[in-house]
Amino acid sequence: MSSDVISREVQRRRTFAIISHPDAGKSTMTEALALHARMISEAGAVHGKGGRRSTVSDWMEMEKARGISVSSTALQFNYACEATDDDKEWPHVINLVDTPGHSDFSEDTYRVLTAVDAAVMLIDAAKGLEPQTLKLFQVCRHRGIPVITVINKWDRPGQTPLELIDEISERIGLIPTPLYVPVGIAGDYRGLLDRRTGRFIKFTRTAGGAKIAPEELLDADAAAASEGDAWEAAVEESELLGELGQDHDQEMFLAGQTSPMIFTSAMLNFGVRQLLEALVEFAPPPRGRVCIDDETREVTDPFSAVVFKVQAGMDSSHRDRLAYMRIVSGEFERGMVVTHAQTGKPFATKYAQAVFGRDRATVDTAYPGDVVGLVNAMALAPGDTLYLDPKVQYPPIPSFAPEHFSALRVTTADKYKQFRKAIDQMDAEGVVQVLRNDLRGDASPVLAAVGPMQFEVVTARMKAEFNVDTIIEPLGYSLARRTDDASAPELGKQRGVEVFTRSDGAILALFSDKWRLQYIEKEHKDLLLEPLVAAA
């Protein structure tokens, strides 16, 4: 495969995730994007809570029960940008990688963000910045992922654009650079003033917001005549933003200093096309990646990919293990035999699949930025590298500092073997971190997680996949430090501290609270107590 072809494929790809607090409208927006890309012909068919069918990305029983999405899937669609894509036969390829949408945090969320090149920060116009959005934003900042800001639900009463802009600048130090200013206050969404052309994009509602909202383009005079004060207010806001220097600047956006901003109603499909165009125009295409030896594997080099997520039990009729890889370089062809860098063993990709909700479509070729699911991937774990020669290995995905610790006990006496197998499998998949010590013994490992939701996933899967009843007993620890063999005995004697070995061999000391830790640090300066990698 010539590098010209790969280069061209890479240039037309955009891989991103939506980061948002639950209920800001991520599922609705995902569906609106699919509608605009003409993947679906009507919104509401796959989306919706309260009576409508479940979303495209729900899959687990638990998700259905709780109305949340527990794991990640990837959605790929083509999009020909009206303004910039001359060749409609050669559209852009958009990969939307889904982040779990519940309020608890899990390591999956972080891992997904290692697989994207940009993020869309979706904010509810009435609520402004919310805790989950903030945490996810910190991860993006930490990883240098550029962020496009979307103020959603503009069809409902909410804050003013300037209030929202101030809140974002002040609380997270990211300067919004609106590409459009809404015409009509929140709750009276008529259209958008395009700040670059000065023209008015007027939207018309469709029944139930099920279809793409028709747009009419008006020049400034016609807009003033049609919208009166609402237009004048938008013009003033736009001028004010210009005076403040809040205009889009590509370099500052890529450096994570500014964020192009768009106002939308995912429900009415207003502003959704503008979001797609912004992704195409400004979000960066896939780039090469630095390996553990500090060399960079360029996108046009031979095939390589990073596994960022492993899951099982996706579909009761396919009881297997699915690993998602993000392609970093080269062309992927289904059937290719690649090497698993961690073991040096060959891995046959006969069953590569693109994943769209429950439907599994076979993938034949894929390029950097694409996400491919590999079936029966028993040996693969998050962070692993797959490649074609020459060898490459990417740095592991940092395992984030756990803040929740619980003992897991099996309650059916004769199920110990299955229990053990299940723990090992979920450990390998990275569902939770597994800690053990001699005192507690093998039958009662301690699970460590970033969010308590991860524990529920373990007990639910224990039951559903292995038919083992377990109970989770929260422990009174709230933070962990890495230590070593030399320090472990002394630490073990301290009150409010317990020492464990994690399955990767790391020795961790758990502390009841930060005061306990600080006290021990002061009293025993010789002990090794290193912070674990934190999210930000």
Name the one range near ligand GDP by CB under 6 A: 149-157, 222-230, 255-263, 290-298. 149-157
Does 266 bind ligand GDP (CB under 6 A)? Our answer is yes
Closest CB to ligand GDP among 263 and 324?
A: 263
What is the distance between the alpha carbons of residues 185 and 291, in angstroms, rounded to a whole number?
Answer: 49
- SS3 label, residue 4: helix
Closest CB to ligand GDP among 187 and 476?
A: 187
The tokens for 350 are 């006969």
The tokens for 228 are 């009166």
Q: How far is the CB of 153 from ligand GDP (least distance, A)?
A: 4
Does 27 bind ligand GDP (CB under 6 A)? Our answer is yes
Residue 78 exposure: Cα atoms within 13 Å on the Cβ side: 8
In terms of Cα–Cα distance, which of 123, 80, 141 is closest to 265? 123
The tokens for 408 are 């897991």
Name the one range near ligand GDP by CB under 6 A: 1-9, 24-32, 140-148, 401-409. 24-32
Q: Which residue has the closest beta carbon to ligand GDP?
A: 25
Among 28, 99, 132, 238, contact with ligand GDP (rule: CB under 6 A) = 28
Does 156 bind ligand GDP (CB under 6 A)? Our answer is yes
Does 155 bind ligand GDP (CB under 6 A)? Our answer is yes
Does 33 bind ligand GDP (CB under 6 A)? Our answer is no
294 is known to lie in a ligand binding site: no
User: Which region holds residue 48: left if phi is over 0, alpha if psi is between -120 and 50, else beta?
Assistant: left
340 is known to lie in a ligand binding site: no
CA distances from 228 to 184, 202, 436 (A): 10, 13, 69
According to CB under 6 A, which residues from 299 to 338 bind ligand GDP? none
What is the distance between the alpha carbons of residues 483 and 34, in angstroms, rounded to a whole number?
Answer: 48
Structural contact between residues 77 and 70, judged by C-beta atoms closer than 8 angstroms: no
194 is known to lie in a ligand binding site: no
Size of the site for ligand GDP (CB under 6 A): 17
Closest CB to ligand GDP among 19 and 341?
A: 19
Does 128 bind ligand GDP (CB under 6 A)? Our answer is no
Does 195 bind ligand GDP (CB under 6 A)? Our answer is no
Quote the DSSP letter at residue 318.
B
Does 25 bind ligand GDP (CB under 6 A)? Our answer is yes
Residues 46-65: x where in contact with ligand GDP by CB under 6 A, - otherwise, as a string: ---x----------------
Does 184 bind ligand GDP (CB under 6 A)? Our answer is no
Backbone angles phi, psi at 209, to 5 degrees: 65, 25
Which segments of 60-194 are extended strands (E)? 74-79, 92-97, 118-124, 147-152, 175-178, 180-183, 191-194
Does 177 bind ligand GDP (CB under 6 A)? Our answer is no
What is the distance between the alpha carbons of residues 72 and 145, in angstroms, rounded to a whole number?
Answer: 18
Among 258, 265, 459, 470, contact with ligand GDP (rule: CB under 6 A) = 265
Does 152 bind ligand GDP (CB under 6 A)? Our answer is yes
Does 267 bind ligand GDP (CB under 6 A)? Our answer is yes
What is the distance between the alpha carbons of residues 397 and 392, in angstroms, rounded to a whole number?
Answer: 15
Q: How far is the CB of 49 from ligand GDP (least distance, A)?
A: 6
**Which residues on neighbouring strands pair with residue 149, listed in sequence order?**
121, 261
Q: How far is the CB of 44 from ligand GDP (least distance, A)?
A: 9
Name the one range near ligand GDP by CB under 6 A: 147-155, 251-259, 317-325, 360-368. 147-155
Closest CB to ligand GDP among 44 and 396?
A: 44
36 is known to lie in a ligand binding site: no
Q: What is the amino acid identity at position 318? A: H
99 is known to lie in a ligand binding site: yes
What is the distance between the alpha carbons of residues 75 and 428, in angstroms, rounded to a whole number?
Answer: 25
Closest CB to ligand GDP among 26 and 309?
A: 26
Name the one range near ligand GDP by CB under 6 A: 151-159, 284-292, 407-415, 420-428. 151-159
Residue 481 exposure: Cα atoms within 13 Å on the Cβ side: 22
Does 23 bind ligand GDP (CB under 6 A)? Our answer is yes
Closest CB to ligand GDP among 76 and 99?
A: 99
Prior bond to 390 cis, omega within 30? yes
Does 507 bind ligand GDP (CB under 6 A)? Our answer is no
Q: How far is the CB of 265 from ligand GDP (least distance, A)?
A: 4
Q: Which residues of 65-86 are buried (b: 16+ CB within 10 A; e: fewer)?
A: eeebbbbbbbbbbebbbeeebe
In terms of Cα–Cα distance, which of 244, 325, 290, 8 is closest to 144? 290
First to last CA, the chain: 39
In three state form, how does the secondary structure of 14-45 look?
EEEEEEECCCCCHHHHHHHHHHHCCCCCCCCC
Q: How far is the CB of 80 from ligand GDP (least distance, A)?
A: 24
Closest CB to ligand GDP among 27 and 433?
A: 27
Q: How far is the CB of 51 from ligand GDP (least distance, A)?
A: 11
- Report which secondary-structure segment, H or E, holds 530: strand 530-531
Closest CB to ligand GDP among 93 and 266?
A: 266
Closest CB to ligand GDP among 218 and 266?
A: 266
Structural contact between residues 306 and 325, judged by C-beta atoms closer than 8 angstroms: yes
Where does this chain bind ligand GDP (CB under 6 A)? 20, 22-28, 49, 101, 152-153, 155-156, 265-267
| Annotation: binding site for GTP | 98-102
